[in-house]
Amino acid sequence: MELALAQARLAAAGGEVPVGAIITDGAGQVLAAAHNSVEAMRDPTAHAEFLALAAARAARGEKYLADCTLTVTLEPCVFCAGAIAALRLRRVVFGAYDPKTGGVEHGPRVFAHATTHHKPELIGGVREGECAALLKDFFAGFRHA
């Protein structure tokens, strides 16, 4: 989670919503790291998870990431959860829960539906306080501006 938090801090420094993600393989080696880049790329799909997943898949040159773990500072949204299912990740570890737009433990709970063909192991709340504080501090700046 430390590497994902470092990515989230990079996002915040660049004016992006502070979410960071890393992908590790079955041996724990980092395959990819990314942070939200929606503003920089002018692309609403440039979520940290999606960028890290694409980079890991490209680095491996494989269709699926079945032995991999995604570690991300915020509960994935529906869009990212769909990508996680499609790439067949083994595990998803996330920090802060997202009651408003989360798609894993909140909202549509993508992996809870019988129609979802792949259900990764989920571990939420890892270093939740730190992850949530980054988001809270970032958005507090908008309320006081």
pLDDT at 141 over 90: no
pLDDT of residue 70: 98
Q: What is the pLDDT of residues 16-35, one digit of tens each?
A: 999 999 999 999 999 999 99
Identify how many contiguous H helices and E strands the chain contains and give both numbers: 5, 5
Q: Are 71 and 53 in contact (CB under 8 A)?
A: no
pLDDT of residue 144: 58
Q: 74 vs 61, 62, 70, 92, 133, CA distance in Å?
A: 27, 26, 11, 11, 11
Q: How far apart, in whole angstroms, are the C-alpha atoms of residue 8 and residue 20?
A: 4
Tokens 């980079």 belong to residue: 55
Q: Which residues are catalytic?
A: 49
Other beta carbons within 10 Å of 63: 10
Q: For the sheet containing 30-35, what is the strand order?
A: 30-35, 20-24, 69-74, 91-96, 121-123
Which of 73-87, 96-110, 112-126, 128-142 comes out lowest in average pLDDT?
Answer: 112-126
Q: What is the pLDDT of residues 89-99, one digit of tens each?
A: 999 999 999 99
pLDDT of residue 113: 73
Strands 69-74 and 121-123: unpaired
pLDDT at 125 over 90: yes
